Structure 1
Amino acid sequence: MTDLSTISHSIRQIVLTGFMGSGKSTVGPLLATRLGWQFIDADDAIVGEARMSIPEIFAHHGESAFRQREHETIARLIATDSLVLALGGGAIETAATRDLLLTSPGTRLIHLEASLETSLTRCSGTESIRPLLADTANLRARYEKRLPLYRIAHHSIPVDALTPEEVVQAILMRLQ
């Protein structure tokens, strides 16, 4: 079994990216517990600071204002040692955020790659809290636009056939 003692000591943060439903918010706490690290969901941090839901932020301020707030939150959070951070699915679209995550010393960006079909199955019933699901006409286009951006992560792990615990194990093996 892989554990903290086998991952590189230079790794200070593990950041999970991927399309909605890829398992970031499920795998993140499991990984953090396994490592004895803190887990933070970037979307939860944004909601807490803004004192409004993500759909409300989108509705009142627009996507570009949300993305700016998201970048600032991620930049602040990755200064924290021993952190597993789950990103929102669209965070990777912001070039400055991608660059920050790929070049920050001690940060490893991990892409949890789920097919669009898997993502939609896992997200069924959450349309009220996921603004992107409401835009079904553009959902596949958005997935296809983001996929090459996700794949520039330090590591990409196919997760369709894995349990959350198996995903944690795969991440730890990649970080040896």
Structure 2
Amino acid sequence: MASANQTVPAMPPRRIVLTGFMGSGKSTVGPILAGHLGWQFIDVDNVIETEAGAAIAEIFARHGESAFRDREHATIARLATADGLVLALGGGAIEREDTRTLLLNAPGTLLVHLEVELNTTLARCSGTENMRPVLADQANLAARYQRRLPLYRTAHVSLHTDLLTPQQVSETIVRVAGLATDRDLPARRPTGDH
């Protein structure tokens, strides 16, 4: 269900950016949404890891969070200019003010927050503690969640997704954004000019 504080831009977006806490479904919903729209899906963390030749945790360990956030912001700024794109952000990208400002003010961009309760995050991410060491420290995890939640909620749209399937989340985003999908378009008739 979409929140009441929607500020959907008047024109249909040319790109959709998904934000939210870990386990909110960004990397699951993103490809489904892109498939509905016939757009490309990109996960920012995957791009950073590929370009750096290292895992996010390794980049943090080697260079620190500040250097990682600089790299992350530059990557988002570069990618968020493409049309026909669904972009999934890392959970902490929203903490950086210039990244939020960029995404909230970029013409053609719809920033969508996939909101989940912390218990949903824990259930969905159970067993990924090796990939997400932050999950092992639950006290700090709760503090991080509370710190980020108001920042996520500055998005153009916030969707409560705890009880929705990824398919339902994708369909809701398409509807809220006012976008037609391939299934919504009339079938093309063959023209005879082959």
Q: Give the AA of the match of 2:87.
A: L
How far residue 130 of structure 1 moved from its aligned partner, in angstroms, is 1.8
* Match in the other structure for 2:84: 82
1:43 aligns with 2:50: no
Q: Report the counterpart of residue 33 of structure 2 in structure 1.
A: 31
User: What residue in structure 1 maps to residue 123 of structure 2?
Assistant: 121
Cα pair 2:12 2:177 within 8 Å, conserved: no
In the alignment, which of 173, 177, 194 is matched to residue 175 of structure 1? 177
Question: TM-score when scaled to structure 2?
Answer: 0.85
Q: Distance in 2 between matches of 1:155 and 1:74?
A: 19
Q: Note the C-alpha offset of 1:129.
A: 1.6
Query: SS of the residue aligned with 2:149?
Result: helix
TM-score normalized by the length of structure 1: 0.93
The total of aligned residue pairs comes to: 170
Corresponding residue number in structure 1 for 2:54: 52
Percent identity (aligned): 64
Confirm or deny: 8 A CA contact 2:94 2:148 kept in the other structure: yes
State the Cα distance separating 1:137 from its structure 2 match.
2.7
Equivalent of residue 64 in structure 2, options 62, 65, 90: 62
Partner of 1:3: none
Residue 13 of structure 1 corresponds to 15
SS at match of 1:62: helix
Structure 1: runs of 5 or more not aligned: 1-7
| Superposed displacement of residue 10, structure 1 | 4.2
Distance in 1 of aligned mates of 2:24 and 2:48: 20
Residue 135 of structure 1 deviates from its aligned partner by: 3.2
Matched, 1:105 2:81: no
Match of 2:186 in 1: none
**C-alpha RMSD over aligned residues:** 1.4
